[in-house]
Amino acid sequence: LNSMTNNTSLVLAFELTETNPPKVLLFTGDAQVGNWKSWQKLTWKSVETGTAGAATDGENGNVTGADLIARTVFYKVGHHGSRNATLREKGLEMMTSTELVAMIPVDEKWAKEVMEWDHPYEKLTARLMEMARGRVLRSDRIPEGGSISKPMEATDKEWESFQKKLQWDVGPERLWIQYTVT
């Protein structure tokens, strides 16, 4: 088990069915590619909420792993943004929500200089920036004050909405980021 700890991570997908369309908050822990592949085969019975946004496929009241990935609006990036913790074609590329925000819990300097890890993986970070229209937060890049500047990927309207939902620790420690999903 010690050699497979990352891929045995608990993965949580919280589906907000009171929204229309339903939104998913995806927390993948340190799950690796094999874990992601297993979700493609799974189907769950949806809990009916009686709302127009009930999270079913419309036919038999089921929701699939692919449905949850497609509805993801908040993705806590797996394993500090490592190269094998976010599946590309059956994962990131399926996150098609225009509201997608990604958060990478990482200390790049420590990962690269002390542990000699390639975290976060540069190509993954670049693709996340594209998919999330610049709305990628990193725990090691909390600004000292003010706001973060709008990247080219985001429209003015998207960026203004994103900024309104974002708060972070402005103290000297800069320990936390808060993002509110509406």
Phi-psi region of 133 (alpha: psi -120 to 50; beta: other; left: phi over 0): left
**Residue in the block written with tokens 């190269």:** 83
Q: What is the pLDDT of residue 53?
A: 46
Pair 106, 120: CB distance under 8 Å: yes
Q: What is the pLDDT of residue 170?
A: 85
The 3-state secondary structure of 44-87 reads EECCCCCCCCCCCCCCCCEEEHHHHHHCEEEEECHHHHCCCCCC
Query: Pairing mode, if any, of strands 166-168 and 43-45?
Result: unpaired
100-124 mean pLDDT: 87
How many other C-beta atoms can be found within 10 angstroms of the C-beta atom of residue 68? Answer: 21
Q: Which of the pair, 38 or 49, is modelled with greater confidence?
A: 38
Q: What is the pLDDT of residue 60?
A: 62
CB contact burial 171-180 (16+ within 10 A = b; e otherwise): eeeeeebeee
pLDDT (tens digit per residue) in 137-170: 998 888 877 678 888 888 999 999 999 999 998 8
Residue 12 structure tokens: 């949580």
Query: Pairing mode, if any, of strands 43-45 and 62-64?
Result: antiparallel
pLDDT (tens digit per residue) in 49-93: 544 444 445 456 788 999 999 999 999 998 888 888 888 888 999
Query: Pairing mode, if any, of strands 43-45 and 177-179?
Result: unpaired
